[in-house]
Structure 1
Amino acid sequence: MDGLGSLKQAGCKLIYIDGSFCTAKEVPGDFDVCWDDTPVDLEKLFSLAPLLFDFEQGRAAQKARYLGEFFPCSFIAAPPATLYLDFFQLDKNSGGAKGIIGLQL
Protein backbone atom coordinates (compact mmCIF):
# COMPACT_ATOMS: atom_id res chain seq x y z
CA MET A 1 0.00 0.00 0.00
CA ASP A 2 1.20 3.53 -0.68
CA GLY A 3 1.81 6.14 2.00
CA LEU A 4 -1.37 8.11 1.34
CA GLY A 5 -3.51 4.97 1.39
CA SER A 6 -2.04 4.02 4.75
CA LEU A 7 -2.65 7.51 6.12
CA LYS A 8 -6.26 7.42 4.95
CA GLN A 9 -6.88 3.96 6.45
CA ALA A 10 -5.52 5.21 9.78
CA GLY A 11 -7.92 8.18 9.81
CA CYS A 12 -5.93 11.02 8.23
CA LYS A 13 -8.25 13.52 6.58
CA LEU A 14 -5.85 16.20 5.33
CA ILE A 15 -2.34 16.39 3.89
CA TYR A 16 -0.18 19.24 2.64
CA ILE A 17 2.23 18.84 -0.27
CA ASP A 18 5.52 20.66 -0.70
CA GLY A 19 8.92 20.05 -2.28
CA SER A 20 10.04 20.44 -5.87
CA PHE A 21 6.76 18.79 -6.87
CA CYS A 22 5.13 22.16 -6.05
CA THR A 23 7.49 24.29 -8.09
CA ALA A 24 7.82 25.24 -11.73
CA LYS A 25 10.45 22.52 -12.30
CA GLU A 26 9.62 20.48 -15.39
CA VAL A 27 10.88 17.31 -13.74
CA PRO A 28 10.41 17.49 -9.95
CA GLY A 29 12.91 15.57 -7.87
CA ASP A 30 10.67 14.68 -4.96
CA PHE A 31 7.65 15.53 -2.89
CA ASP A 32 7.17 16.24 0.79
CA VAL A 33 3.93 15.48 2.61
CA CYS A 34 2.92 16.99 5.92
CA TRP A 35 -0.02 15.04 7.33
CA ASP A 36 -2.61 16.12 9.88
CA ASP A 37 -1.98 13.73 12.74
CA THR A 38 -4.80 14.88 15.04
CA PRO A 39 -7.44 12.39 13.82
CA VAL A 40 -4.97 9.58 13.08
CA ASP A 41 -4.80 6.26 14.91
CA LEU A 42 -1.01 6.26 15.24
CA GLU A 43 -0.81 2.62 16.34
CA LYS A 44 -2.77 1.53 13.28
CA LEU A 45 -0.66 3.73 11.01
CA PHE A 46 2.54 2.30 12.48
CA SER A 47 1.30 -1.24 11.79
CA LEU A 48 0.35 -0.29 8.20
CA ALA A 49 3.35 1.87 7.32
CA PRO A 50 6.18 1.88 9.87
CA LEU A 51 8.43 3.74 7.42
CA LEU A 52 6.33 6.87 7.94
CA PHE A 53 7.94 7.02 11.39
CA ASP A 54 11.49 6.33 10.20
CA PHE A 55 13.49 9.56 10.14
CA GLU A 56 16.94 7.91 10.17
CA GLN A 57 19.59 8.82 7.59
CA GLY A 58 17.62 11.77 6.25
CA ARG A 59 14.49 9.63 5.79
CA ALA A 60 16.31 7.40 3.28
CA ALA A 61 13.90 4.48 3.77
CA GLN A 62 10.87 6.72 3.12
CA LYS A 63 12.48 8.11 -0.03
CA ALA A 64 13.36 4.64 -1.29
CA ARG A 65 9.86 3.21 -0.67
CA TYR A 66 7.64 6.20 -1.50
CA LEU A 67 9.92 8.47 -3.60
CA GLY A 68 9.19 11.27 -1.15
CA GLU A 69 9.01 12.15 2.52
CA PHE A 70 6.21 12.26 5.10
CA PHE A 71 6.09 14.46 8.21
CA PRO A 72 3.41 14.66 10.94
CA CYS A 73 2.07 18.25 11.15
CA SER A 74 2.44 18.55 14.91
CA PHE A 75 6.02 17.26 15.18
CA ILE A 76 8.85 19.74 15.64
CA ALA A 77 10.83 20.40 12.47
CA ALA A 78 13.23 23.02 13.75
CA PRO A 79 14.12 23.76 17.35
CA PRO A 80 12.97 25.25 19.54
CA ALA A 81 9.32 24.88 18.45
CA THR A 82 8.68 25.23 14.71
CA LEU A 83 6.14 22.58 13.75
CA TYR A 84 6.35 20.83 10.38
CA LEU A 85 3.15 22.51 9.17
CA ASP A 86 4.69 25.93 9.86
CA PHE A 87 8.07 24.85 8.48
CA PHE A 88 6.44 23.80 5.20
CA GLN A 89 5.16 27.36 4.80
CA LEU A 90 8.60 28.98 4.96
CA ASP A 91 10.63 29.67 1.84
CA LYS A 92 13.99 28.03 2.49
CA ASN A 93 15.87 30.65 0.48
CA SER A 94 14.27 33.88 1.71
CA GLY A 95 12.80 32.80 5.04
CA GLY A 96 9.53 34.45 3.99
CA ALA A 97 6.08 32.93 3.87
CA LYS A 98 4.97 30.71 0.98
CA GLY A 99 1.91 28.73 0.06
CA ILE A 100 1.55 24.95 0.10
CA ILE A 101 -1.05 22.63 -1.40
CA GLY A 102 -3.65 21.08 0.92
CA LEU A 103 -5.57 17.96 -0.10
CA GLN A 104 -8.42 16.16 1.63
CA LEU A 105 -8.09 12.39 1.65
Structure 2
Amino acid sequence: MIPVLAPLPGSPWPVLPAGIHPASLNEVGVAFATDAWRRELFDGLVDACGSLLRAGCRTVYLDGSYVSGKPKPGDFDACWDPSGVNRALLDAVFLQFQNGREAQKRRFKGEFFPSSMMCTDVGQAFVDFFQIDRFTGKQKGILSIQLPADPFLSRKVQP
Protein backbone atom coordinates (compact mmCIF):
# COMPACT_ATOMS: atom_id res chain seq x y z
CA MET A 1 0.00 0.00 0.00
CA ILE A 2 1.34 3.40 -0.97
CA PRO A 3 1.50 5.71 2.04
CA VAL A 4 -0.12 9.14 2.01
CA LEU A 5 2.17 11.90 0.75
CA ALA A 6 3.45 14.13 3.54
CA PRO A 7 4.72 17.69 3.58
CA LEU A 8 8.48 18.04 4.01
CA PRO A 9 9.47 21.49 5.30
CA GLY A 10 11.43 23.24 2.56
CA SER A 11 10.19 21.00 -0.25
CA PRO A 12 7.74 22.60 -2.68
CA TRP A 13 5.30 19.67 -2.66
CA PRO A 14 4.41 16.66 -0.49
CA VAL A 15 6.57 13.53 -0.83
CA LEU A 16 6.49 9.91 0.25
CA PRO A 17 7.46 9.42 3.90
CA ALA A 18 11.02 8.15 4.42
CA GLY A 19 11.67 4.52 3.54
CA ILE A 20 11.23 2.05 0.73
CA HIS A 21 7.55 1.30 0.29
CA PRO A 22 6.40 -1.80 -1.62
CA ALA A 23 3.80 -1.09 -4.29
CA SER A 24 2.24 -2.83 -7.25
CA LEU A 25 1.98 -1.19 -10.64
CA ASN A 26 -1.78 -1.10 -10.20
CA GLU A 27 -1.34 0.86 -6.95
CA VAL A 28 1.08 3.24 -8.69
CA GLY A 29 -1.46 3.76 -11.47
CA VAL A 30 -4.33 4.43 -9.09
CA ALA A 31 -2.29 6.82 -6.92
CA PHE A 32 -0.33 8.72 -9.56
CA ALA A 33 -1.76 8.22 -13.09
CA THR A 34 -4.47 10.77 -12.33
CA ASP A 35 -4.61 12.73 -15.59
CA ALA A 36 -3.69 12.24 -19.26
CA TRP A 37 -0.04 13.30 -18.85
CA ARG A 38 0.54 11.21 -15.71
CA ARG A 39 -1.12 8.28 -17.49
CA GLU A 40 1.31 8.68 -20.39
CA LEU A 41 4.21 8.58 -17.93
CA PHE A 42 2.70 5.51 -16.27
CA ASP A 43 2.37 3.74 -19.62
CA GLY A 44 6.08 4.36 -20.23
CA LEU A 45 6.90 2.96 -16.79
CA VAL A 46 4.86 -0.18 -17.47
CA ASP A 47 6.55 -0.66 -20.85
CA ALA A 48 9.99 -0.32 -19.25
CA CYS A 49 9.10 -2.68 -16.39
CA GLY A 50 7.98 -5.28 -18.92
CA SER A 51 11.25 -4.98 -20.80
CA LEU A 52 13.26 -5.25 -17.58
CA LEU A 53 11.25 -8.28 -16.45
CA ARG A 54 11.96 -10.07 -19.74
CA ALA A 55 15.70 -9.56 -19.01
CA GLY A 56 15.32 -11.09 -15.54
CA CYS A 57 15.03 -7.93 -13.43
CA ARG A 58 13.11 -8.52 -10.23
CA THR A 59 12.85 -5.05 -8.65
CA VAL A 60 12.36 -1.49 -9.85
CA TYR A 61 12.53 1.48 -7.47
CA LEU A 62 10.39 4.46 -8.45
CA ASP A 63 11.24 8.03 -7.51
CA GLY A 64 11.00 11.56 -8.79
CA SER A 65 8.33 14.18 -8.92
CA TYR A 66 5.98 11.58 -10.41
CA VAL A 67 5.58 10.01 -6.96
CA SER A 68 5.10 13.36 -5.25
CA GLY A 69 2.42 16.01 -5.07
CA LYS A 70 3.92 17.99 -7.98
CA PRO A 71 0.96 18.90 -10.19
CA LYS A 72 2.75 18.24 -13.53
CA PRO A 73 5.91 16.15 -13.22
CA GLY A 74 8.31 16.33 -16.13
CA ASP A 75 9.08 12.62 -16.03
CA PHE A 76 9.77 9.86 -13.53
CA ASP A 77 13.04 8.55 -12.16
CA ALA A 78 13.66 4.87 -11.56
CA CYS A 79 16.44 2.47 -10.80
CA TRP A 80 16.47 -1.27 -11.33
CA ASP A 81 18.20 -4.04 -9.43
CA PRO A 82 20.78 -5.63 -11.76
CA SER A 83 20.95 -8.87 -9.73
CA GLY A 84 20.03 -11.76 -11.99
CA VAL A 85 19.58 -9.62 -15.09
CA ASN A 86 20.69 -11.31 -18.30
CA ARG A 87 22.66 -8.57 -20.09
CA ALA A 88 22.09 -10.32 -23.42
CA LEU A 89 18.33 -9.81 -22.97
CA LEU A 90 18.57 -6.29 -21.53
CA ASP A 91 17.44 -3.56 -23.92
CA ALA A 92 20.53 -1.41 -24.58
CA VAL A 93 18.55 1.78 -23.86
CA PHE A 94 18.80 0.99 -20.11
CA LEU A 95 22.56 1.53 -20.35
CA GLN A 96 22.43 4.73 -22.43
CA PHE A 97 23.05 7.74 -20.21
CA GLN A 98 24.20 10.26 -22.83
CA ASN A 99 22.52 13.63 -23.38
CA GLY A 100 20.65 13.55 -20.08
CA ARG A 101 19.25 10.04 -20.76
CA GLU A 102 17.52 11.37 -23.87
CA ALA A 103 17.00 7.91 -25.43
CA GLN A 104 15.36 6.59 -22.25
CA LYS A 105 13.09 9.61 -21.93
CA ARG A 106 12.08 9.39 -25.58
CA ARG A 107 11.25 5.69 -25.29
CA PHE A 108 9.79 5.47 -21.77
CA LYS A 109 9.15 9.08 -20.67
CA GLY A 110 11.47 8.53 -17.70
CA GLU A 111 15.03 7.78 -16.62
CA PHE A 112 16.52 4.48 -15.44
CA PHE A 113 19.74 3.64 -13.63
CA PRO A 114 21.04 0.38 -12.21
CA SER A 115 20.22 0.64 -8.49
CA SER A 116 23.81 -0.16 -7.46
CA MET A 117 25.35 2.36 -9.88
CA MET A 118 27.06 5.24 -8.10
CA CYS A 119 25.64 8.70 -8.59
CA THR A 120 28.98 10.46 -8.98
CA ASP A 121 27.57 13.84 -7.91
CA VAL A 122 26.97 12.58 -4.37
CA GLY A 123 28.97 9.35 -4.08
CA GLN A 124 25.95 7.15 -3.32
CA ALA A 125 24.25 4.31 -5.14
CA PHE A 126 21.12 5.50 -6.95
CA VAL A 127 18.81 3.49 -4.68
CA ASP A 128 20.18 5.54 -1.74
CA PHE A 129 20.46 8.83 -3.62
CA PHE A 130 16.78 8.60 -4.61
CA GLN A 131 15.82 8.63 -0.92
CA ILE A 132 17.17 12.17 -0.44
CA ASP A 133 14.93 15.15 -1.20
CA ARG A 134 16.78 17.37 -3.64
CA PHE A 135 15.42 20.60 -2.17
CA THR A 136 16.12 19.94 1.51
CA GLY A 137 18.66 17.12 1.70
CA LYS A 138 16.28 15.31 4.08
CA GLN A 139 15.14 11.70 3.85
CA LYS A 140 12.08 10.89 1.75
CA GLY A 141 10.53 7.72 0.42
CA ILE A 142 10.61 5.74 -2.81
CA LEU A 143 8.50 2.86 -4.10
CA SER A 144 9.68 -0.70 -4.67
CA ILE A 145 7.93 -2.73 -7.37
CA GLN A 146 8.50 -6.49 -7.43
CA LEU A 147 8.19 -7.27 -11.13
CA PRO A 148 7.74 -11.08 -11.22
CA ALA A 149 4.97 -10.95 -8.62
CA ASP A 150 3.14 -7.96 -10.06
CA PRO A 151 -0.32 -9.02 -11.28
CA PHE A 152 -0.73 -5.96 -13.52
CA LEU A 153 2.55 -6.67 -15.29
CA SER A 154 2.03 -10.41 -15.60
CA ARG A 155 -1.11 -9.74 -17.65
CA LYS A 156 0.92 -7.65 -20.10
CA VAL A 157 4.26 -9.47 -20.27
CA GLN A 158 5.08 -13.01 -21.20
CA PRO A 159 8.71 -13.53 -20.03
Q: Given the two structures, how large is their TM-score scaled by the length of structure 1?
A: 0.88
Q: Map Cα deviations across residues 49-76 of structure 1 (whole Å, 9 max, x no partner).
A: 2111100011011111110011100111
Superposed counterparts of 1:2-81, under 5 Å:
2-45=47-90, 49-79=91-121, 81=123
Residue type matched to 2:145 in 1? L
Structure 1: tracts of 5 or more residues without a match: none
Give the partner amino acid of 2:116. Answer: S
**Within 2, Cα distance between the matches of 1:53 and 1:78?**
16
Displacement of 1:8 after TM fit? 0.2
Comparing 63-72 with 27-36, which one deviates more in the overlay? 27-36
Residue 80 and residue 21 in structure 1: after superposition, are their counterparts in 2 closer, same or farther (change >3 A)? closer
Cα separation, partners in 2 of 1:79 and 1:29, compared to 1, 3 Å: closer
Question: Matched residues in 2 for 1:27 and 1:79: separation?
Answer: 26
**Alignment-derived partner of residue 3 in structure 2:** none
Q: For this pair of structures, how many residues does the alignment match? A: 102
